[in-house]
Amino acid sequence: MANTILVGAQWGDEGKGKIIDVLTEQADVVVRYAGGNNAGHTVYVGKQKYVLHLIPSGILRKNKLCVIGNGVVIDPIGLVEEINGLAKLGVKIAKNFVVSETAHVVFPYHRELDARRETVKGKNKIGTTKRGIGPAYGDKAARVGLRISDLVDPVLLKEKLSKRIAENNGVLKALGGKPLSFKKVYADYLAAGVFLKPFVANTVVLLHQKMQGGARMLFEGAQGTFLDIDHGTYPFVTSSNTTAGGACTGSGVPPHRMDRVVGVMKAYTTRVGEGPLPTENAAISDLLHGMGREFGSTTGRARRCGWFDSVATRHAAMVNGIDDLAITNLDGLDTLETIRVCVAYRRGKELYDFMPNDAQVLAECVPVYVEFEGWQTPTDKARTFKALPPKARAYLKAISELTGARLYIASVGPGRDQTIFV
């Protein structure tokens, strides 16, 4: 493995954390390049569960450098909590962890604005994680954001933050929100800046030095293709480029240094938050929720569930240039007699074999399904492709063919060992 980008090929929560943790064994450096603590990546090491929000999932392996790249937005209070939480569980975070000095900072007014805007939108809300992600990326694009280099400089922090609080208190008031105290925010962020300063570096230069030294890099995507600000179901998206291109802009590693793209997808579909989900199905949701599965790692919300949508994953393969597929949660379908896969959409007389760009048009699409016979056998103990029931193998091969990328990994449980390299 040389340099690999790993992306979510659906609506997030595809099992990226688990697959990153498995692939980290073959990497030297793991880089987060987009999103913020809206992400929740679950990794099990034995019985111990870890949920990572900002820190790359590679942190759970020894002697791996974990980097938060410039494309990420960082809530420093959340990051300090995450570091301390992991330390309590015995995870060492020292020289193996670096934060970009040009990553943007999420402040309490971003979170407040996120929440207020959702309330104002009423039934048209996005269903955000309320982590302030949209407003923070908004400030970055408007060129008024503070970066980590500002956070760790008490003078710059004071000067810039006082102006931003004054402006944002006005906006918050107009939206019916409460103004924030500069003194309190400054004190909290100053302390977080002092804590984080030893981890801060010019990560672009660092990553290039590592590459020159022959390091193998793994780029950990957050969210998923259809939550991408450009390629997702706008406006029901997050505010960053979660797709493969984001790995370059969000880290400073150029496209010609990327060797392959791994697309992670569930053997079915889930989404958390609002927006179109063509294959959504109440019976599948009930089945998975009944098994205690598909509750959000960050917000605890029940995820909406549906059949596998190959129109969507084919589109994801196209936009990301997916070479290899990691298909997770195969075991979630173990009990089903019949399994459906969406192969096209119908809207009135129109038949679509691609994802329409307009979220309203997509919401009006009805899936065209093909059916597969279920294997009705537990798969969670299988450790080789051959050990899977023939019908499960046929299903995996079919969704790989329909998506148009190589079948690389099949995952049959949350554990490290429940991973089949095909």
Catalytic residues: 13, 41
114 binds ligand GDP, rule: CB under 6 A: no
For position 30 contacting ligand IMO by CB under 6 A, the verdict is: no
Minimum distance from residue 296 beta carbon to ligand GDP (Å): 7
Can you tell me which residue has the tokens 């002092």? Answer: 194
Give the residue, chosen from 56, 69, 71, 134, that forms a contact with ligand IMO under the rule CB under 6 A.
134
**DSSP 8-class letter at 301:** P
User: Of 6 and 341, which has the nearer Cβ to Mg ion?
Assistant: 6
Contact status: 13 vs Mg ion (CB under 5 A): yes
**CA 219/CA 6 separation, integer angstroms:** 6
Is residue 126 a contact point for ligand IMO (CB under 6 A)? Answer: yes
- Percentages helix, strand, coil for the chain (3-state, rounded to 5) are 40, 20, 40
Half-sphere exposure of 415 (CA within 13 A, CB side): 9
CB of 53 to ligand IMO, least distance (A): 8
The CB-of-272 to ligand IMO minimum distance in angstroms stands at 4
12 forms part of the interface with ligand IMO (CB under 6 A): yes
Among 168, 223, 243, 297, which residue sits at the site for Mg ion (rule: CB under 5 A)?
297
Q: Smaller CB distance to ligand GDP: residue 42 or 149?
A: 42
Contacts of 294 by beta carbon, 8 Å cutoff, 6+ apart: 270, 285, 288, 302, 303, 305
- What is the C-alpha separation between 73 and 103, in angstroms, rounded? 6
Q: Of the ranges 8-16, 60-68, 156-164, 248-256, which one interacts with ligand IMO (CB under 6 A)?
A: 8-16
Give min distance, CB of 239 to ligand IMO, in A: 6
C-alpha distances out from residue 80 to 54, 163, 251, 281, Å? 10, 25, 22, 39
Choice between 37 and 70, CB closer to ligand IMO:
37
The CA distance from 271 to 279, in Å, is 11
Residue 311: C-alpha distances to residues 139, 332, 344, 370 (Å): 34, 21, 6, 12
CB of 101 closer than 8 Å to CB of 147: yes
Q: Which residues of 290-318 are buried (b: 16+ CB within 10 A; e: fewer)?
A: eeeebebbbbeeebbbbbbbbbbbbbbbb
Q: Which one of 319, 402, 413, 422 is in contact with ligand GDP (CB under 6 A)?
A: 413
Least distance in angstroms from the C-beta of 228 to Mg ion: 15
Name which of residues 331 to 370 contact ligand GDP (CB under 6 A): 331
Length of the chain (residues): 422
Look at residue 353 and give its three-state secondary structure.
coil
Measured from the CB of residue 413, what is the shortest distance to ligand GDP in angstroms? 5
- The window from 13-21, 150-158, 299-307, 407-415 that contacts Mg ion (CB under 5 A) reads 13-21
Contact letters for ligand IMO, residues 212-241 (x by CB under 6 A): ----------xxx--x----------xx--
Does 14 bind Mg ion (CB under 5 A)? Our answer is no
Render 117-182 in DSSP notation, one character per residue: HHHHHGGG-----SSSHHHHHHHHHTT---BHHHHT-HHHHHHHHHHHHHHHHHHHHHTT-----H
With CB under 5 to 8 Å by kind, the binding choice for 58 among ligand IMO, ligand GDP, Mg ion, none is: none
Q: Rule CB under 6 A: say whether 271 interacts with ligand GDP.
A: no
Contact indicator for 378, 334 with CB cutoff of 8 Å: yes
- Stretch 23-62 residues interacting with ligand GDP (CB under 6 A): 40-42
Residues that bind ligand GDP (CB under 6 A): 8, 12-18, 40-42, 297, 328-329, 331, 411-414
